[in-house]
């Protein structure tokens, strides 16, 4: 792990101060665990658990459609980590037999190279994948976080730069990036629906 990442993670943990106790005896499901963000979060949680001495369980899942990053520590003997090869677009994800406290949805095909090769898969991970994870959050009464993207704003008009969240965007539904952009937009809409109608605590 690079010195920059180590310093970054240490800075984040230091800023959390006494808040880490809220994670003690909790279970987190992290979707997209085989990608860049998954690896970063794995190293973060690894250091957090070591330094804070909390008992935190993290379940990383990925289907490796586009992930070049394999689970670095899938043979890790720590009881704090579990690594599963699963597809969140498959309804079987709802059969996971865990009492989850938090669900983090960071799964997605973010590279233009890959999502132009796999446009349907790119779109579906933010639609079917998000819906399945939100259903899982409802079932477990877990808090849910969705990793969206600034791409939801498309090609912003100059009057709206720098972008504020109230900006509705200028997105082409027909462009080569539309499968990614529109997928993230639907993912955000699903968060609002589940929060307003199904009492699921969501963050975007």
Q: Which tens digit of pLDDT belongs to each residue from 67-117?
A: 655 555 555 668 899 999 999 999 999 999 999 999 999 999 988 888 889
**Which pLDDT band, with edges at 50, 70 and 90, does 58 fall under?**
very high
Domain that holds residue 184: 22-203
CA angle, residues 8, 64, 48, in degrees to nearest 5: 25
* Beta bridge mates, 153: none
In a domain, 8, yes or no: no
Residues acting as catalytic residues:
180
- For residue 77, the tally of other CB atoms under 10 A from its CB is 6
Q: What is the dihedral of CA 20, 25, 28, 33, to 10 degrees?
A: 80
Distances, alpha carbon 129 to alpha carbons 110, 125, 154, 200, in Å: 15, 4, 22, 16
Cis peptide before 45 (omega within 30 of 0): no
In a domain, 183, yes or no: yes
In a domain, 5, yes or no: no
In a domain, 33, yes or no: yes
């Amino acid at each position: 792990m690079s010195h920059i990442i180590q310093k970054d993670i240490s800075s984040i943990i230091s800023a959390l101060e006494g808040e880490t106790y809220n994670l003690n005896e909790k279970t987190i499901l992290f979707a997209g665990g085989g990608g860049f963000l998954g690896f970063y979060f794995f190293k973060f949680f690894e250091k957090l658990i070591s330094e804070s001495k909390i008992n935190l369980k993290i379940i990383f899942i990925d289907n490796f459609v586009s992930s070049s990053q394999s689970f670095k520590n899938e043979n890790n003997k720590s009881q704090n980590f579990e690594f599963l090869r699963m597809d969140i677009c498959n309804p079987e994800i709802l059969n996971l037999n865990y009492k989850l406290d938090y669900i983090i949805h960071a799964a997605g095909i973010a590279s233009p190279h890959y999502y132009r090769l796999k446009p349907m898969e790119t779109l579906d991970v933010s639609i079917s994948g998000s819906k399945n994870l939100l259903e899982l959050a409802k079932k477990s009464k877990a808090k849910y976080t969705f990793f969206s993207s600034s791409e939801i704003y498309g090609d912003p008009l100059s009057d709206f730069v720098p972008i504020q969240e109230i900006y509705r965007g200028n997105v082409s539904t027909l462009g080569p990036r539309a499968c990614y952009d529109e997928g993230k937009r639907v993912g955000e809409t699903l968060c609002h629906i589940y929060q307003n109608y199904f009492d699921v605590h969501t963050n975007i």
